[in-house]
């Protein structure tokens, strides 16, 4: 038997982080997604214990300033794409520049330098992942999904989806429908 679940990736990660910090007895305050304010500096052994526990979940403590800013860019993009209440209707470049208080050119160059890909590619990947989740939920049409993700048309969404996944969103929908029928 299979079950299908939906989840809020931001909430899951924040909960895991909060639980690990509490397990290691670190006095902290959650500031934002992926950002924690510590009450006091950590001893080296505590830092190592925290890193080891977080590593079990694929989470790592970011150390240098460039990596920290790149992580903030990724977090802002994930928030922009996945947040249900956050209907961002401005260009992503304007959104990121305003949210992170740096010029978009600087953010784009730094992101490419550290990740070897562009911000635009990262945004597309996140939009395609969200599209898959929305298709799995099955309560929105492709037109509604395209509108929700600020695509100019369903054709534009379909082109990016196929370029990224190798199949069209319609084919993905049919595959999901078949799987559900077979598992019923």
Specify the number of domains making up the chain: 1
Q: Specify if 168 maps to a domain.
A: no
Predicted model pTM: 0.69
Q: Which residues pair with 100 in a beta bridge?
A: none
pLDDT of the residue at 40:
82
Q: Considering the domain boundaries, does residue 128 fall inside one?
A: no
Residue 138 lies in a domain: no
- CA–CA distance, 94 with 99 (Å, rounded to integer): 8
What pLDDT score was predicted for residue 35? 77
| Dihedral class, residue 150 (left if φ above 0, else alpha if ψ from -120 to 50, else beta) | left
Kindly state whether residue 130 falls inside one of the protein's structural domains: no
Q: Within a 10 A sphere around the Cβ of 90, how many other Cβ atoms? A: 12
Instruction: Say if 19 falls within a structural domain.
Output: yes
In a domain, 2, yes or no: yes
The pLDDT tens digits of the residues spanning 54-105 come to 888 888 887 778 888 998 999 999 988 887 665 556 788 999 999 999 999 9
What would the two tokens of residue 142 be? Answer: 């492709």
pLDDT digits (tens, 9 = 90+) for 19-47: 988 888 888 888 776 778 888 877 888 88
Tell me the torsion sign for CA atoms 80, 86, 87, 88.
negative
Give the pLDDT confidence of 141-178 residue by residue, as tens digits: 999 999 888 888 999 999 999 999 999 999 998 888 88
Whether 127 shows a pLDDT value over 90: the answer reads yes
**173 domain residue, yes or no:** no
Its domain, for residue 39, covers: 1-61
């Amino acid at each position: 038997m299979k079950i299908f679940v939906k989840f809020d990736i931001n909430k899951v990660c924040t909960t895991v982080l909060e639980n690990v910090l509490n397990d290691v007895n670190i006095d902290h305050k959650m500031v934002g997604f992926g950002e924690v304010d510590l009450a006091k500096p950590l001893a080296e052994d505590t830092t190592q214990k925290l890193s080891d526990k977080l590593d079990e979940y694929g989470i790592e403590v970011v150390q240098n300033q460039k990596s920290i800013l790149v992580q903030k860019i990724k977090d802002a993009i994930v928030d922009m794409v996945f947040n249900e209440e956050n209907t961002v209707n401005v260009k992503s470049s304007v959104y990121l520049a305003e949210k992170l208080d740096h010029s978009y050119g600087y953010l784009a160059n730094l992101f490419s330098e550290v990740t070897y890909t562009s911000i635009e590619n990262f945004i597309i990947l996140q939009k395609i992942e969200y599209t898959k989740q929305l298709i799995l939920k099955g309560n929105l049409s492709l037109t509604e999904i395209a509108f929700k993700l600020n695509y100019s048309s369903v054709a534009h969404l379909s082109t990016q989806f196929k370029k990224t996944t190798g199949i069209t969103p319609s084919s993905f929908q049919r595959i999901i429908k078949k799987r559900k029928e077979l598992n019923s």
